Amino acid sequence: EAGVAQSPRYKIIEKRQSVAFWCNPISGHATLYWYQQILGQGPKLLIQFQNNGVVDDSQLPKDRFSAERLKGVDSTLKIQPAKLEDSAVYLCASGTVKGQGNGYTFGSGTRLTVV
Amino acid sequence: QKEVEQNSGPLSVPEGAIASLNCTYSDRGSQSFFWYRQYSGKSPELIMFIYSNGDKEDGRFTAQLNKASQYVSLLIRDSQPSDSATYLCAPSGSARQLTFGSGTQLTVLP
């Protein structure tokens, strides 16, 4: 089965600019997650979707971050305006809702550098 | 208090030894527990999960869970240099979201 696709792989922007990341989950996976991983730290959940509805966005900085999942498939995460502290890898993951042992699969991530 | 705490390491073991990675968590409602391995510059990959108290073995990996003590561990037997990576512990919340610890960096010395 095809994995989780993310693009772009790398992005360098200046502070106060905007940026968008795209994710295509594994076919049939109802849940989709965006995580932020700062260097030396574990991934931190930003937002969780189930189909096209938001399940948890409690840790999403809503003044600058937004995310959507149209038609319950692809998702985009946007940052506007970016700050230096947003420099991180943004990971998308998808999973199923069945069974206890179904951890989810991560995409290769987008490495964002804000200068 | 951090939700998920791991021994930060770095942890170094000689090739062929047993590596022991530990994790404690604060959410008593957590039901499933996952271990991910992350090579430098790569994304995390799932290697083990456990949801019942006791031990679960898969090849050279053994996960141990003690819900009363809110403790989960991962043992890697016969460690190989290819096991050198950061290991992330992740309990699953009520909505199946995973909360990750900061990870333990493991180095297996040839």
Is the model's pLDDT at A114 over the cut of 60? yes
pLDDT tens, residue by residue, A56-109: 999 999 999 999 998 889 999 999 999 999 999 999 999 876 655 667 899 999
Whether chain A has a CB inside 8 Å of the CB on B33: the answer is no
Is the model's pLDDT at B7 over the cut of 90? no
pLDDT band at B2 (very low <50, low <70, confident <90, very high): low
Residue B58 to residues A30, A88, A93: CA-CA distances in angstroms?
Answer: 28, 33, 24
Residue-level pLDDT at A104:
86
Is the model's pLDDT at B96 over the cut of 80? no
Chain A CB contacts of B101 below 8 Å: 42
Interface test with B, best of A34, A49, A104 (most B CBs within 10 A): A104
pLDDT tens, residue by residue, A27-42: 988 899 999 999 999 9
Nearest to B46 among A91, A100, A103 (CB): A103
Residue-level pLDDT at B86:
97
* Locus of tokens 């699953």: B92
Q: Residue A61 is encoded by which pair of tokens?
A: 């900085």
Residue B43 to residue A109, Cβ atoms within 8 A: yes
